Amino acid sequence: MNIKSLLVRLIKTSVALVFFLVAIIEIVHINLLFYNGNLLAGGDNSSYLQLCRNTTNSYSWEESLPFGGRSYDVANLFGVSAFSKLACFLSQGNAERLLIFTLYFLKYLGFFLLSRKIFNKLSFFALLPALLLYIFNPFETLNPFPYLYLLYNAYIPLSLYLFIHLLDRQKLDFLTLAMVAVVSVIFSSINSNPALSITIFIPHIIYLIFKFRSLSRIRIINLLLYFTVLVLTNIWWIVAQILYFSSSAVSVFSGNWWDYTNQGSLLQNLRFIGQWGWYKGSYLYPYYPFNPYYDSPVVVIANYLVVALTLGYGIRLAIKKDIKVLFVLSFVIVSLILIGGSRPPFGFLYGYLYTHIPFFKVFREPFTKFGELYVLSFSLLFYRLLVGIKDWSKPYFLPNIFICFLFLVIIFGKPAIFGEHVWNKWNGSMRTFRVGIPQYWNDFYKYQRSNLSNERILTVPKIYYGGAWNWPKGFSSADDIAIYFVDNGNTILGRPINTGSISGKIVDSIYTDKNVTSDYFLSLGIKYLLRENDYDWRFSGELTLSPNELDGWINKLNAKKVAEFGKFTPDYLKTIPNEDPDPKIRDVLYKELLDRPALELYEISDKINTSRIFVESDSKVKISYSKINPTKYIVTVKDASSDYNLFFNETYDKNWEARIVGGNKIPNEQHTVENGYANLWKINTQDASGLSSYSVIIEYTPQKLIDFLVIGCLVTFFISLFYLIVRLVLRLHKR
């Protein structure tokens, strides 16, 4: 069979028809999500701003943290950064649309494969309503475009499908193992949120328990090979995460974590509702303005009708010992127990683990962490209900039954289907998620690419978590948005997110000291200030200065303005939403911003030594250095006729190593902390064997292991991909 006839045959199948409809639905859905925005971004999902920019880090040392720190985000190596390179020919807006469309489509595909695999039945009658319920439901309205959750939602059904397929085989299945390797690498970014990625294995464990008695020797080998492949394709980020938590766990887990482990109720959870903020709000509006819709009588009745029919039918088949339904029903029950968190009667163990095990604090919001498991398991059971209805109903009634269930599903997911769940209101520090990046930020990005390299830039005023920026379209963010507009090794200091870096406290001291001088910046190697006049100080923390107050603070530094971007003209200010009901708060925005530049870049002093590596100013030793990457520097030393101190202005870490090229490593006891955060090596003449001119390599040693493991991952990935392509070509040739 040639490719043309194969395509004709495929087009004629009901599966192709379903996915054609799905593609149309998703295109419409994406347009409804974006509406009049160029990008969807905001809150904890601001990273979309870095699409098509070189702003991501793939090293075990994260130089974008204040003065650097162990990376907590290395698993994103094949995530946004890789996609940005593949989609570099597109605009940011189109790249994000393509990314979100692809992830939603893979979510549809994963559910289709999994439902067909578990129940061994394919029904168009059942598939479309079940797919729509899986995609559009109250749980999905919580966060309409989260990158990691979209990855997770697409990966979990695909992962479970491959696991079940492999475990059911009675022979070694290298084809499925190759698929496991490829899929695992493609979706590896999920693991930058360990609390999310761990939950993927919960349905695997449940299925393994059901299959335990039927495990043959071949199935055990397949199981061992499955986990071997997962280790080979994931060990690189596992090692990096262990390194991060081993140094930062005390700082990260000792913070004031909000406890939401006992929120909601079982009755609400059954219909996918239970998030802590569902009925709460901030300032002028509730967090979810559409929540009254789900409490209207018609919607409540429709929701519980679907729940009652689905669970009732599942229990009926489970009593008849339908092992497949029993597995899915167990999956549903386990998910509901986990969603319940520390609520009685089953929450005592959850509460104990949360209280006594520090890492378990990442599960402080059980509804959001385990809710997708319930959505998946319930949707599978709903699919089985519809298959059963189709089997015992007369053909004459099927169209009407199909329309009724489709209508019930649409009622379930109306806010998610029509984009009503995308925040689009002005609410103090909350701004629309339908974003348009002002041109002046893009101008700053281009300027720093051309004029700055490996510079540390302090942003002012102080940015707080969840702050807002005065843009015509948008914007609010969990982090300082300036981090998405720098590259070339330039880093932003003053980020509000606690990453466990000890240097963050040093940066905070700049904002708390009203009399800070340029000498302090000298000691930290900070040469530039980026003034974000578009940051809305009115709804920020107490240390955030207004533009007028910031004028005096900067004047004390005698800083020199080197560039400015944008202008708050009267016409431009009219385009900025400003809907505060208090006229004093509303009007002060115009008084403070009128005719100011939107962004201003200042040079604190051209005498500041911004070198990452240097010696004492009175030393006769001469050095120069080159940066290979964030984890490796080569220092050229001349005239070192006596002992000297070599300073490395990155956060101290015992894994930083200084080594004489062709000689010995500088002993650990000569590596100490300087200025409360930086690295200092005391280098003696005997360390260099009496030489006065030589080279020193400063290297973050874990990167060697990470590089080796990444290579192993890529080798596994490309071998698996090559094997899949060969098998596909052979299969097409046979047809």
- Residue 16 pLDDT > 70, yes or no? yes
402 vs 392: CA distance, rounded Å: 14
Give the up-direction half-sphere exposure of residue 146: CA atoms within 13 A in the CB hemisphere: 16
Q: What are the residues facing 694 on neighbouring strands?
A: 637
Q: What are phi and psi of 428, to 5 degrees?
A: 70, -110
The model carries a pTM of: 0.89
- Residue 561 pLDDT > 80, yes or no? yes
How big is the CA angle at 278 (ends 25 and 385), to the nearest 5 degrees? 50
Cβ atoms within 10 Å of 71's Cβ, excluding its own: 30
Q: Are 70 and 247 in contact (CB under 8 A)?
A: yes
Q: How confident is the model at residue 606 (pLDDT cuts 50, 70, 90)?
A: low
Q: What is the pLDDT of residues 350-366, one digit of tens each?
A: 988 888 887 788 888 99
Q: 16-27: b or e for each residue (b if 16 or more CB lie within 10 Å)?
A: eebbeebeebbe
524 vs 674: CA distance, rounded Å: 11
Q: What is the mean pLDDT of residues 259-282?
A: 90
Nearest to 111 by CA among 101, 96, 126: 126
Task: Classify the phi-psi angles of 448: left when phi > 0, otherwise alpha if psi is within -120 to 50, otherwise beta.
Answer: alpha
269 vs 266: CA distance, rounded Å: 5
- Residue 10 pLDDT > 60, yes or no? no
**Long-range contacts of the stretch 384-387 (C-beta < 8 A, 24+):** 384/119, 384/126, 384/313, 384/314, 384/317, 384/324, 384/325, 384/328, 385/126, 385/309, 385/310, 385/313, 385/314, 386/123, 386/125, 386/126, 386/129, 386/130, 387/119, 387/121, 387/123, 387/125, 387/126
543 vs 530: CA distance, rounded Å: 17
Task: Classify the phi-psi angles of 609: left when phi > 0, otherwise alpha if psi is within -120 to 50, otherwise beta.
Answer: beta
Q: What is the pLDDT of residues 609-643, one digit of tens each?
A: 667 888 887 788 999 999 898 899 999 999 988 89
One-character DSSP codes across 684-733: -GGGGTT-SSEEEEEEETHHHHHHHHHHHHHHHHHHHHHHHHHHHHHHHH
DSSP state of 666: P
Q: Are 223 and 178 in contact (CB under 8 A)?
A: no
Q: What is the pLDDT of residues 67-126, one digit of tens each?
A: 888 887 777 777 777 777 788 888 999 999 999 999 999 999 999 999 999 999 888 889
Q: What is the mean pLDDT of residues 50-61?
A: 74
Calculate what percentage of the chain has a pLDDT beyond 70. 94
Residues 6+ apart with CB under 8 A from 513: 520
Q: Are 33 and 419 in contact (CB under 8 A)?
A: yes
Q: Are 67 and 612 in contact (CB under 8 A)?
A: no
135 vs 33: CA distance, rounded Å: 14
Task: Classify the phi-psi angles of 701: left when phi > 0, otherwise alpha if psi is within -120 to 50, otherwise beta.
Answer: alpha
Q: What is the pLDDT of residues 374-409, one digit of tens each?
A: 999 999 999 999 999 998 888 888 888 999 999 999
Model pLDDT, residue 267: 93
Model pLDDT, residue 118: 95
Model pLDDT, residue 5: 57
Give the up-direction half-sphere exposure of residue 649: CA atoms within 13 A in the CB hemisphere: 19
Query: What is the enclosing helix (H) or strand (E) of 183?
Result: helix 174-186
Judged by DSSP in three states, 179 sits in helix
Model pLDDT, residue 7: 44
Both tokens of 587, joined, read 């009007």
More reliable by pLDDT, 226 or 488: 226
The distance from CA 216 to its chain's CA centroid, rounded to whole angstroms, is 39
How big is the CA angle at 479 (ends 416 and 546), to the nearest 5 degrees? 115
Helix (H), strand (E), coil (C) string for 278-325: CCCEECCEECCCCHHHHCCHHHHHHHHHHHHHHHHHHHHHHHCCCHHH
Say which residue the tokens 């390299």 belong to.
453
385 vs 306: CA distance, rounded Å: 10
DSSP state of 264: S
Q: What is the pLDDT of residues 217-248, one digit of tens each?
A: 999 999 999 999 999 999 988 888 888 877 66
The answer to which of 97-111, 152-166, 527-541, 721-735 has the lowest mean pLDDT is 721-735
311 vs 336: CA distance, rounded Å: 12
Q: Packing angle between helix 217-253 and helix 702-734, nearest 10 degrees? A: 140
Q: What is the mean pLDDT of residues 292-298?
A: 95
Mean confidence (pLDDT) of the chain = 89
Both tokens of 583, joined, read 């006229």
Model pLDDT, residue 66: 80
Residue type at 159? S
One-character DSSP codes across 569-611: -HHHHHTS----SSHHHHHHHHHHHTT--SEEEEES-TT----
Q: What is the pLDDT of residues 690-729, one digit of tens each?
A: 888 999 999 999 999 999 999 999 999 999 999 999 998 8
Q: What is the mean pLDDT of residues 259-278?
A: 90
394 vs 90: CA distance, rounded Å: 51
393 vs 150: CA distance, rounded Å: 36
613 vs 608: CA distance, rounded Å: 13
CA distances from 45 to 364, 422, 481, 491, 658 (A): 19, 12, 11, 20, 38
Q: What are the residues facing 632 on neighbouring strands?
A: 629, 699
